[in-house]
Amino acid sequence: MIAESLNIPKTVVLRILKEDLGKRKLCPRFAPHSLTPEQREDRVTSCQDIIAMADADKIFNKIIMRDETWCFAYDPETKRQSSEWVGETSPRPKTLTFLRSHIKTILIFFFDSQSAVHKEFVPEGKTVNAEFYKAVMDRLLKCIQWVNPAAFCCRDFFFVAR
């Protein structure tokens, strides 16, 4: 853009940026969250406490949780699109989010203390009502029967919806 607007060769622009101005072009590194060291330490401590409780009390092994979340498709920039000119001693730039597109859906996710039990996306245009959820629960029971047949036979599990 600089070369076109000033009507000079790109090689001249690059030489000025690199040699005269000491700039370099870097791609940003994606960082999903920017947490302080205290926040990271609190997360680790909380997770360790939950694991200790689950090991001590076997009731946690019988709980199946459900959660829902909106999932968006993202239009990430290419490396070339996200590159920035920075000074010689400048740190690598970070990008915290992608741009959302118009595509979105709901993810319904079931999990226990060991792993994911069942997950499914709500099809586009589908209404989430009692009939839809009954079908989801039927598919969930089939997954429980396949993943943990002993718990399924004696119905030794609990559902917790968030």
pLDDT at 22 over 80: yes
pLDDT at 162 over 70: no
Pairing between strand 23-26 and 100-111? unpaired
What's the whole-model pTM score? 0.47
pLDDT at 135 over 60: yes
The dihedral sign for the CA sequence 108, 113, 116, 118: negative
Helices (H), the chain: 2-6, 10-15, 37-56, 79-82, 130-147, 149-153
- In eight-state DSSP terms, residue 54 is H
Mean predicted confidence (pLDDT) in 40-47: 88
pLDDT above 70 as % of the chain: 81
Give the phi and the psi of residue 136 in degrees, each rounded to 5: -60, -45
C-alpha separations of 79 from 3, 27, 83, 91 in Å:
21, 6, 6, 17
